[in-house]
Amino acid sequence: MRIIRYREALREAMVEEMERDADVFLMGEEVGHYQGAYKVSEGLLERFGERRVIDTPIAEAGFAGVGVGAAMVGLRPIIEFMTWNFSFVAFDQIVSNAAKIHSMSGGAIRCPIVFRGPNGAAKQVAAQHSHTVEALYTHFPGLYVVAPSTPRDAKGLLKASIRDENPVIFLEGETLYGVKGEVADEGVDEVVPIGKGRVAREGDGCTVITWGRPYYTVMEAAERLAADGIELDVIDPRTLRPLDEELMLASVRKTNRCVVVHEHWPYGGPGAQIVDVIQREAFDYLDAPVLRVAGLDVPMPYASNLEDLVLPTVDRVVEAVRRVSYLGA
Amino acid sequence: MAKIIGLPKLSPTMEEGVLVRWTKKEGDAVEVDELLAEVETDKATMEFRSFDRGVLLKILVSEGDTLAPDAPVAIMGDAGEDISDLLAQLAAPSVSPTSAQPASPDRQTAVALPSPEPIAAPAASSGPAEAPTGRILSSPLVRRLAREQGVELTALRGTGPRGRIIKRDLEQRPAATPSVARAGRMPARVERASATRRTIARRLTESTQSIPHYYLTIDVDAAPLVDARRQINAELADEGEKISLNDLIVKACAVALRRVPEVNVSWVDGDIHAHQVVDISVAVAIPDGLVTPVVRDADKLGVLELSQQVRELAGRARDKRLSLEEMTNGTFSISSLGMFGIESFTAVINPPEGAILAVGTLREEPVVQGGAVVPGKRMRMTLSCDHRVIDGAVGARFCAALKRLLESPTNMLI
């Protein structure tokens, strides 16, 4: 094992897959000569040349569509959105074409494409550039949605996503790119399967299900709660569609209580979907209503202090866990 | 504004309650959902929690008083408020207290409902918290565990929001709650009885208080029965199975009930239910009491099958894994204390059944046979009957039939 950053893990996954398969190519804004807006694709142009690392105009609908077409005729494009906020311009290409073509062609046409880029709030990028998009893209049958929290999962899941025959929405995070963590040694081809979650921390006090940036908020809350004798069972689903339901249910059957922590807004989305699964499949094991700690239901404020209030905090996680455990504050 | 607080209905069937203890005194400040008093209902001692915030201005009833639901018990309001009008109103007839109303507009809903989303604060306060409608609130987990463990929810105290019974309450259930010693050098150790124990207490009290019992004792020559058992067990030896004397007695009762069906009856609210089936309840001692698993259609079972069922039910009874259905709706009971060397005893009828047979130990003693004293085997059995449905002569006919079957077991084949 080595300790590397999340952005390096992503880069390694792309390099290894591009080495392995000549059909894989990267396309997006500033991915080449500028070395990537967040330096994820640093060095790729030099290594693979302009035919496989393609800088595009600022035209998401255009290059997303080109990617879908390329995938339909047999290539394996990686389409980078500078942030997922800009994918809204390309929404139709993703949900009407990439997500539907396999079904609408009666299985004749595949669309093995990866759309990737940073998801969620960064810091003070305000309402239009702080979207967490998993609630949107998990809605569409035909799309896989993955959201790795750690460098190891980022690398393993990106490799799995590039190799998959289906369109994959790959959600990274601007505030995750610098996170360091253990990743398999060079030369070890570690692939994390799509649809499999991970127990990030074991405990019998309360199940907490979380992913993305809030994963780190939860791990901090877990330390604080452990000091009070409450051991969290933290589940990172890693893939948000399809969900690893069995892993989550097994945990809830053990702890009898659950909190779901996510950055996306509370209305719908994978957060609500997870609660639905749990109350339906583990009803007789619940000792308390399932609670969620979500991004507050407002457009993201620009002011730094307000932004901190909107995003899930350690305090809010601790409070929710204590509530479902029937413990006073 | 001051108002009269009435006694809430704390269980669905509560017709009256005894105010056991006030936990607040006059002049105390009271928060919403804070414990005001403990009230003993038909089910259990329940917590009477305040629906209002304010000061307990006046206590209207004493500890130990028996009260109807809605009976005025206290006056609450702001500190120092004048309550002479309310007292006058109480002195006059027909008072309508306000506390038991589910959602009076001035009620404060400070009960901490978990709000699913922190942003959704308005939603949490828009719906009124539930008033004590008598519905028992409990978590789904608790309902499942209570079902599995045969625990009555009414016997539990909920400590969750709005009195919801949660896992903790179930787990802490048997914990002893030592009460203050009153007098004497060696005070009794006081523990809260388990739900099973309280159910037994209630049912047995009901039985002895409402059923006119009478008793018929027979002394049976048990030698043929012992022989029959030995023969059957020799036959079963290869299969590794064996039966007990008790199994043969259950079988004999089942056959006797078919021959004297007038004993296979129940008195239910003035009607006589003549049962079409022979379902025999077998009393099984368990660590904190006694349960009666039922062998269904005992008359139709072969003695081996019957023996296997009794053993399986008794095993699960000791593990407390019987469902309620498996312990109710028998038509006749058998209780045996032979293993303790009890010669004979009388048993309390298990309502709504009409009779119960109490079986004593197998005695080896000299008996007179054909003018000579020879070694013999005897058993004594006492039938308790509900005189409302089984007259003495009928009970005696059953005893005679049973005795004949036990003394010539082959007749069970007829």
Answer whether A286 touches B (CB < 8 Å): yes
Helices (H) and strands (E) in chain A, counts: 12, 14
Answer whether B139 touches A (CB < 8 Å): yes
Phi, psi dihedrals of residue A197, rounded to the nearest 5°:
-90, -175
Among B91, B53, B54, CA closest to B72: B91
* Greatest distance between any 2 Cα atoms in chain A: 61
**B275 in catalytic set:** no
Secondary structure (DSSP) of A273-323: HHHHHHHHHSGGG-SS--EEE---SSPPPSSHHHHHHHS--HHHHHHHHHH
- By the 10 Å C-beta count (0-12 exposed, 13-18 middle, 19+ buried), B188 is classed as exposed
Other Cβ atoms closer than 10 A to B144? 15
CATH 1.10.1240.10 assigned to B1-101: no
User: Residue A77: what residue type?
Assistant: P
- By the 10 Å C-beta count (0-12 exposed, 13-18 middle, 19+ buried), B253 is classed as buried
Dihedral angle over CA of A41, A45, A51, A55, nearest 10: 60
- pLDDT recorded at residue B185: 55
Q: Would you give the DSSP letter of residue A150?
A: S
Other Cβ atoms closer than 10 A to B148? 12
CA distance linking residue A281 with residue A96, whole number of Å = 32
Instruction: Name the residue of chain A whose CA is nearest to B144's CA.
Output: A284
A199 and A234 in contact (C-beta within 8 Å)?
yes
pLDDT digits (tens, 9 = 90+) for B85-127: 888 888 775 444 443 333 333 333 333 344 443 333 333 333 3
Q: Please name the member of A287, A294, A296 whose beta carbon is closest to the beta carbon of B141.
A: A287
Q: Buried b / exposed e across B30-59, counting CB within 10 Å, b at 16+?
A: bebbeebbbbbbebbbbbbbbbbbbbbbbb
Other Cβ atoms closer than 10 A to B204? 15
* The pair of three-digit structure tokens given for residue B72, joined into one six-digit string: 């005025």
| Residue ranges of domains in chain A, CATH in brackets | 2-183 (3.40.50.970), 198-324 (3.40.50.920)
pLDDT along chain A (329 residues), means of 10: 96 98 98 96 97 98 98 98 97 98 97 98 95 98 98 98 98 96 95 98 97 98 96 98 98 97 98 98 96 98 96 97 88
Instruction: Name the residue of chain B whose CA is nearest to A286's CA.
Output: B141
Among B193, B203, B169, B148, CA closest to B324: B148
Interface of B with A in 265-304 (CB under 8 A): none
Which residues in chain B have Cβ-Cβ distances shorter than 8 Å to A285?
Answer: 140-141, 144
Low-confidence ranges of chain B (pLDDT < 50): 94-131, 175-183
> Of B213, B273, B275, B387, which residue is the catalytic one?
B387
% helix / strand / coil in chain A, to the nearest 5?
A: 40, 20, 45
- By the 10 Å C-beta count (0-12 exposed, 13-18 middle, 19+ buried), B373 is classed as exposed
- pLDDT recorded at residue B128: 35
**Residue A233 CB-half CA count within 13 A:** 18
Cα-to-chain-centroid distance, residue A227? 30
Going by DSSP bridges, is the β-strand pair A180-183/A198-201 parallel, antiparallel, or unpaired? Answer: unpaired
CA distance linking residue A277 with residue B47, whole number of Å = 35
Residue of B113, B157, B164, B167 to mutate when probing chain A, most A C-beta within 10 A? B167
CATH 3.30.67.10 assigned to B212-413: no
CA distance linking residue B147 with residue B321, whole number of Å = 9
Q: Would you give the DSSP letter of residue B82?
A: -
- pLDDT recorded at residue B186: 64
Residue spans of beta strands (DSSP E) within chain A:
2-5, 24-28, 53-55, 76-80, 114-118, 144-146, 168-172, 180-183, 198-201, 206-210, 232-236, 239-241, 258-261, 291-293
| Paired residues of B40 in beta bridges | B18, B45
The ipTM is: 0.79
**Residue B106 CB-half CA count within 13 A:** 9
Q: Which CATH architecture has domain B135-192?
A: Irregular (4.10)
For residue B130, give the 3-state DSSP assignment: coil
Q: Do B1-101 and B212-413 agree at the fold level? A: no
- pLDDT recorded at residue B288: 72
Q: Give A31 to chain B, closest Cα distance, Å.
A: 39
B75 sits in which H/E element: strand B72-77
CA distance linking residue A183 with residue A171, whole number of Å = 19
- pLDDT recorded at residue B120: 31
Answer whether B118 touches A (CB < 8 Å): yes
Residue of A274, A279, A284 to mutate when probing chain B, most B C-beta within 10 A? A284
CA distance linking residue B11 with residue B18, whole number of Å = 13
Among A223, A280, A226, A287, CA closest to A254: A287
| Paired residues of B6 in beta bridges | B72
Residues of A involved in catalysis: 60, 129
Cα-to-chain-centroid distance, residue B190? 20
* In chain B, where the domains are located: 1-101, 135-192, 212-413
- pLDDT recorded at residue B129: 38
